[in-house]
Amino acid sequence: MAIDLSVTDRFASRHIGPSDADVSAMLDTLGVDSLDALVDEAIPASIRSDRPLDLPPAVTERALLNRAQELAGQNDSHRSFIGMGYSGTVTPPVIQRDILENPSWYTQYTPYQAEIAQGRLEALLNFQTMVIDLTGLEIANASLLDEATAAAEAMMMLNRITKRQKSRTFFVAEDCHPQTISVVQSRAEPIGVNVVVGDPNTFEFNDDVFGVLLQYPTTDGSIENYRDICERAHENDAYVTVAADLLALTLLTPPGEIGADVAVGSTQRFGVPLGFGGPHAAYFATKERHKRQVPGRMIGVSKDAEGNMALRMALQTREQHIRRGRATSNICTAQVLLAVMASMYAVYHGPEGLKDIATRVHDLTKILANGLEQTGHSIRNDHFFDTLRVDLDGITQDAIREAAEAHKINLRYFDDGSVGVSLDETVSADDLDALFTVFGATNGKKLYAKDVATDLDSGYDGPLQRETSYLDHPVFHKYQSETELTRYIHRLARRDLSLTQSMIPLGSCTMKLNPTAALMPISMPGFTDVHPFAPSDQTEGYRAVIEELSDSLAEITGFDGVSLQPNSGASGEYAGLLVIRAFHRANGDKNRTVCLIPESAHGTNPASATMAGMKVVTVDCDDNGDVDLEDLTAKAEKHSDELAALMVTYPSTHGVFEDHIQELCDVVHEHGGQVYMDGANMNAQVGLCRPGEFGIDVCHLNLHKTFSIPHGGGGPGVGPICTAKHLSPFLPGHPIVETGGDQAIDPVSAAPYGSALITLISWAYIKMLGADGLTQSTKTAILNANYIAKRLSDHYDVVYSGDHGRVAHEFILDLRPFRKNIDISEQDVAKRLMDFGYHAPTMSWPVVGTLMVEPTESESKAELDRFCQAMINIRTEIEEVENESVDLDRSPLKQAPHTAEMIARDGWDLPYSRERAAFPADWTRADKFWPTVRRVDDAFGDRNLICACPPMEAYQTDDEEDLKEALTA
Ligand SMILES: *Cc1c(COP(=O)(O)O)cnc(C)c1O
C-alpha cells in the first residue's frame, strides 16, 4: 500500500469531543446503527439538502496560523490619526494575556447564575463605577454594542420617558461622529421619530422636541460649553444625551455636571485594540430615576442567603425575555469581555495614571497645534483635547494627503478642504515630527516636537476644567503593580465557572469549543491595529477574511448575500427586519408592518420587531411545541394586506426539526410576507440543510454560538445576516466606508464590518474544519444531545421530540411536576448543579419550569456521562424530598449552593453530611469548584439598587442591617 501523505493533525478530531469508540457506545445506547441513521431520524428528509457543503478542504492549525499571519501582513501598517471615535491605545500586556487570551475569562457565559459568576460581576461593577465616576452621572450599565448604537438607545429611552408623549423630534448636533448620526437616523425612522441635524447653538427648541444628542468633545475636536443648551432643553421639557470621550473626561467637567441626563460613548481607548472597528464596549450612564428604562444589563449589589454581600444582574424585569415587544431594548449579548478589559485598564492605571495619559495626549496635541500655527495653518478649535481641525495655509489638502501617504500616515480629510488630526496614547515625539513634515511645517527650518515643547506648559488650561475627583474607590488604587493586578485578575477568574471547568450545557447558546488556534490571530498586530476607516487599499488582509467568511456563510446557509455588520444576534434580527421592511417599501408596500412571531420565540424577536417599526402578532404553538399551522394560516389571512414577515426559529426553540417548516413558509409567501429565520440553532443544520433551500428569505447567525467565537461572559458577539437574492440589495451600508447593497439601508452599527477583529475566529474555525469537519460537528452535536436525553429519560421527562422520538441538538427537561408536587424548582436544580461543578442548562426558556440542555459536539462522552451522573444524583435528592425522608427547606437542593466557608464552619446541623454537601459526586473530590457565595437574593438587590462599587464596610459585614446601611450610606 502506498504511503498516505496527508497530515495526521486534523483539527476536527480535536474539536469534536467523542472518539470513534465513544460514538459507537453512544449509538448503542440510542439503539441505532450509525450516526447517519440517527441524523435521518432527527431531521425530516424533506428539508435535507441534497448537496454537500462546497468549501475549501480543511487546513491544519499550523497552516491556518501561517495563512492568518500572511493576511495580517496584507493590512498596511499606517499610523492612523483619523479619530472619529477610534483611538490608538496600549493594551497592557498583563490584560492582554490574562484576560483577552485567558479562557477563564473569555469562555464564560452571561452571568445569569450569579453564585458562580462573582468574578466577572465584580469586574463589571468596576466598569460601571468607572463610567459613573467619569461621566458624573448616577447609574451606568455593564456595556452596549458600540457608541453609535448607545446613542440610538439613548434616543429610544428618552422617547419612552418624555413627559411629552406626542413629541417626535430628536435633535442631533451636526458635530457628532457621522456614523453616530447615521445609526441614530436609521433607528429613528422606523419608530416614527424625526431626526433634525444642526447647530446646537442656534437650534430653536419647540414642543415637538423630546431629546437632544450632543458630542463632547465634538467629532472635529472642539470642547464646547453645553451648559446653556442643557438648560434650554430642560426648560423645554427635553432631555439631553452627551456622547463623551472617557479619557477626555479625566480633564474635563463631566456631562453629569453640565446638565446631561444621559452620557454614552466608547471605552475602546481604555486598552481595547482598534481591530478594524470592533469589538469594543460602549457605555451608557444616566440618572437613578431612569433605572427601569436603561437598555442592556446592569450589575447590582445584593446579599446572599447568609446576608453576605453578593453581586448579580439587576432589574431583569426590564428585559426582553419578560417584556418582549415592550422591553427597554433588544440587547441580549453585549460586550462583557471588552468592558472587563476597559475596567481593568482603569484599575491598573488608577485615576492618576489615567490623568497622566490624558494629559500627555493633550500636551502632544498642544505641541502639534502650536507647531502648525507657527507654520501658518490655523486651528479651527478654540479649545481641544486630542483632536484638531486644521485650515491649511499654502498647501492643498491633496498635497497633504500625498505627503501623509508617503509617511504612511492616515488623517481625516474634510469635504471643505480642512484636515483632522487626532492623537492618542500611542503617539510619540517622532510621530509629531513626521506630522510636522507632512504639514510642511518648516518655518524656515524643520520643526521638531521637542523644540516646540520648550515654550509650552503642560496640562489642560481651557474652560470646563474638571474639578471633581473620580475613581476614589480602593479598587482603583490597590492593583497598580503587575503582581497585584495578576493576582486580582486570577482571583476574580477563580470565582467564575467557565468552559475551563466543565461543559456549559446552555440550550440555544451553543457553548462549544473556542479553538485556541482560531483565537490566536486576534492578537496579531496586523489585525489589531487597523482603524475601521483606513483606506481600503490598506486593508486587503481584512477584506480577504471578510470575503472568504461571507462566502462560506452564504454557502452554509444557501443564501446569496451576507452582512457582517450586526454586533449581536439581536442586532442581526433588527437588521434583517429592516431589510425586509426596505424590500416591501421598494415594492410600494408601505403598509406591510405586521410581524408574526410564535409564542415560543426568543424575547429578542418581538423586541427587535418593535424596533423595526413592526406590529407584533403572536402565533400559537401546538402541544408539541411546533408553530400551530392553523393559527398561522388564520393570522396570515387576517393580516394579508399588512403582512411583513414571520420570524421563526429553526430547528424550533424546543429543539425539534418541525416537519412543516416549508408549509409555514408557503403560507407566509402566499400572503406577501417574508420569512425571517432566527439562526441561533444553526448548529443543528450546518452541512445538513440550508435555510435558503427550504423557504427562508433571510436569517441571522450567531457567530458567537455556532461559529466558535467565545461568549466572553456576555459578549462580544457577531450576528451576520444572510439574505436571498431579492433582499441582498438592501444589506446595510455605511456613511464612511462603502459596503452593503446598492439600495442599502442605513447602518445598524458604528463600524462598516461590525466587530471585524473577531470575524477572524469564525473564519479560522470554518477553514480548520472544512466541509466534512463542519458536517461531522453538526451530526455529533445531534448525537450528544440525543445521548443525554436518552440517558436521562428514566429520570426526567423530555418535553418535546420529533416523529422518531429524537431531538435535534438540544432538548428540554421537564421539572414542572416537582415544582407542583413538592416545591422544588428548576432554580433549585440549577443551584445544586453548582455543587457538582456544573453550570445550569438554560432555565425556564422557552418553557417555564424546565431546563434546556445543549451539550454541543465539543464535549466528550466522559463529560456527558459526568453531567448525566450529576443530574441523576440530583434526581435522587429530589426523591428524598418526595418520600419525605428529608425536610424540603433543609434539603441539599434548597440549601445549595454550598460554600467552603459554610462547610468548614463549626456546628453543622443539616440532615445530610457535609461530605455530601460539598462532594456530591466522585470527581468533585479531585476537582472541586467552590461557589463563593450562597444563593443570591435578587429581590433585595432590586429594592436597594446599588450599581457602583460599594464602600469597603459592605465587603466586611455579614449582618443584613449593617449591609443595608453600608450600601445606602
Ligand atoms: C442567543 C439568541 C438570540 C440573541 O442573540 P444575541 O447575540 O444574544 O443578541 C436570539 N434568538 C435565540 C433563539 C437565541 O438563542
Q: Assess whether the C-beta atom of 333 lies below 6 angstroms from ligand 1.
A: yes
Distance between CA 239 and CA 631 in Å, rounded? 43
CA of 206 to the centre of ligand 1 (A): 40
444 pLDDT above the threshold of 70? no
721 C-alpha vs ligand 1 centroid, how far in Å?
A: 13
Q: Give exposure, 18-48, as e/b (b: 16+ Cβ within 10 Å).
A: beeebbeebbeebebeebeebbebbbbeebb
Is the pLDDT reported for residue 61 higher than 80?
A: yes
The answer to whether 80-296+331-425+435-440+458-505 and 810-934 have equal CATH topology is: no
Tell me the average pLDDT across 289-306. Answer: 95
- How confident is the model over 97-131, as pLDDT tens digits? 999 999 999 999 999 999 999 999 999 999 999 99
Q: Is 366 in the pocket of ligand 1 (CB under 6 A)?
A: no
User: Which of 331, 604, 707, 718 has the most ligand 1 atoms within 8 A of CB, as the residue to mutate?
Assistant: 604
The C-alpha atoms of residue 938 and residue 914 are separated, in whole angstroms, by 27
Pick from 96, 857, 856, 104: nearest CA to 520: 96
* CATH topology for the 810-934 domain: Aspartate Aminotransferase, domain 1 (3.90.1150)
Confidence tier at 969 by pLDDT (50, 70, 90): low
Query: What is residue 823's predicted lDDT score, i.e. its pLDDT?
Result: 95
Rg of the chain over Cα atoms, rounded to whole angstroms, equals 28
* Closest CA to ligand 1's atom 14: 680
pLDDT in tens, 384-423: 999 999 999 999 999 999 999 999 999 999 999 999 999 9
520-538 pLDDT, tens digit each:
999 999 999 999 999 999 9
- Please tell me if the CB atom of residue 335 comes closer than 6 angstroms to any atom of ligand 1: no
Does ligand 1 lie within 6 Å of residue 569's CB atom?
Answer: yes
Verify whether ligand 1 is closer than 6 Å to residue 511 (CB atom): no
Residue 24 has pLDDT above 80, yes or no: yes
Average pLDDT over residues 553-577: 98
- Note the pLDDT of residue 11: 97
pLDDT at 445 over 80: no
Q: CA 338 to CA 28: how far, in whole Å?
A: 45
Residue nearest to atom 3 of ligand 1 (CA): 569
Ligand 1: distance of its center to the CA of 831 in Å? 24
Residue 439 CA to ligand 1 center (angstroms) comes to 49
Task: Give me the sign of the Cα torsion angle 358, 364, 368, 373.
Answer: positive
Q: What is the rounded CA–CA span in Å between residue 170 and residue 342?
A: 30
Q: What is the DSSP string of 765-781?
A: HHHHHHHHHHHHHHHHH
Distance, CA of 752 to CA of 585 (rounded, Å)? 24
pLDDT band, residue 358 (cuts 50/70/90): very high
Please determine, for residue 243, whether its predicted confidence score (pLDDT) is greater than 90: yes
- Cα 333 to middle of ligand 1, angstroms: 7
Among protein residues, the one with the nearest Cα to ligand 1's atom 7 is 569
The angle at the Cα of 737, spanning 736 to 741, to the nearest 5 degrees, equals 115
Question: What is the rounded average pLDDT of the residues 482-486?
Answer: 98
* Ligand 1 lined by 568 (C-beta under 6 Å): yes
Ligand 1 atom at minimum distance from 570 CA = 9
**What's the gap in Å between 322 CA and the centre of ligand 1?**
14
Say if ligand 1 is within 6 A of residue 717 CB: yes
Specify the pLDDT at position 630: 96
Paired sense of beta strands 309-314 and 298-304, if any: antiparallel
- Residue 329: closest CA among 298, 354, 369: 298
pLDDT at position 5 is 84
Between CA 315 and CA 293 the distance in angstroms is: 10
Rounded mean pLDDT of 908-936?
97
**Ligand 1 midpoint to CA 605 (Å):** 9
pLDDT band of 442, cuts 50, 70, 90: low
Average pLDDT of span 634-643:
98
pLDDT value of residue 322 = 76
Which residue has a Cα nearest atom 15 of ligand 1? 508
What is the position in ligand 1's atom list of the atom closest to the CA of 653? 13
Q: State if residue 118 touches ligand 1 by the CB under 6 angstroms criterion.
A: no
Instruction: Report the residue among 146, 508, 652 best suited for mutation to probe ligand 1: largest number of ligand atoms under 8 A from its CB.
Output: 508
Question: From ligand 1's centre to the CA of 45, what distance in Å?
Answer: 27
**Given this structure, which CATH class describes domain 536-765?**
alpha beta
Average pLDDT, integer, range 307-330: 86
| Eight-class DSSP state of 248 | G
To test the pocket of ligand 1, the residue of 112, 331, 336, 702 to mutate (highest count of ligand atoms within 8 Å of its CB) is 702
Q: What percent of the chain has pLDDT over 90?
A: 91
- Percent of the chain whose pLDDT exceeds 70: 99
Q: Which pLDDT does position 443 carry in this prediction?
A: 55
The domain segmentation of the chain, as residue ranges, is: 80-296+331-425+435-440+458-505, 536-765, 810-934
Mean pLDDT of the chain: 96
**Cβ(296) – ligand 1 distance below 6 Å:** no
Mutate to test the pocket of ligand 1, among 149, 332, 511, 748 (most ligand atoms within 8 A of CB): 332
682 CB near ligand 1 (under 6 Å): no
CB 286 within 8 A of CB 262: yes
Q: How many Cβ atoms are within 10 Å of 6's Cβ, its own excluded?
A: 6
CA 330 to centroid of ligand 1, rounded, Å? 10
**Would you place residue 42 in the very low, low, confident or very high pLDDT band (cuts 50, 70, 90)?**
very high
Instruction: Compute the distance from residue 275 Cα to the ligand 1 centre, in Å.
Output: 24
Atom 6 of ligand 1, residue of closest alpha carbon: 569
Cβ of 905: how many Cβ atoms within 10 Å?
11
Q: In this structure, are residues 872 and 856 in contact, taking their beta carbons and an 8 Å threshold?
A: no
Mean pLDDT (whole number) for 53-75:
97
Pocket test for ligand 1, best of 145, 656, 678, 707 (most atoms within 8 A of CB): 678
Closest atom of ligand 1 relative to the 568 alpha carbon = 7
Evaluate whether 809 touches 781 at the Cβ level (below 8 Å).
Answer: yes
Q: Which atom of ligand 1 is nearest to the CA of 702?
A: 7
State if residue 575 touches ligand 1 by the CB under 6 angstroms criterion.
no
Q: What is the pLDDT of residue 950?
A: 87
**pLDDT per position as a tens digit, 141-168:** 999 999 999 999 999 999 999 988 899 9
Beta strand pairing status for 936-937 and 842-843?
A: unpaired
Ligand 1 atom closest to Cα of residue 330: 9
CATH annotation of 80-296+331-425+435-440+458-505? 3.40.640.10
Ligand 1 in contact with 679 (CB < 6 A)?
Answer: no
- The per-residue DSSP string of 882-941 comes to HTTSS-GGGSHHHHPSPPHHHHHSS---SSS-HHHHH-SSTHHHHSPPPPSSS-EEHHHH
Query: Counting atoms of ligand 1 from 1, which one is nearest the CA of 573?
Result: 10
Q: Is the dihedral of CA 144, 149, 155, 161 positive or negative?
A: negative
Give me ligand 1 centre to Cα 184, in Å. Answer: 23
Ligand 1 neighbourhood includes 719 CB (under 6 angstroms): yes
Out of 186-190, 805-809, 948-952, least confident range: 948-952
Distance 571 CA to ligand 1 centre (A): 9
d(CA 945, CA 416): 49
How much is the pLDDT for 954? Answer: 79
Backbone angles phi, psi at 676, to 5 degrees: -100, 130
CA of 652 relative to ligand 1 center, distance in Å: 13
From residue 375, how far is each of 210, 443, 512, 853 by CA, in Å?
Answer: 46, 5, 58, 68
pLDDT of residue 960: 76
The 3-state DSSP composition of the chain as helix, strand, coil percent (nearest 5) reads 45, 15, 45
Contact 815, 482 (CB under 8 A): no
The three three-digit cell numbers of residue 137, written as one number? 452621572
What is the whole-number distance in angstroms between the Cα of residue 603 and the centre of ligand 1? 9
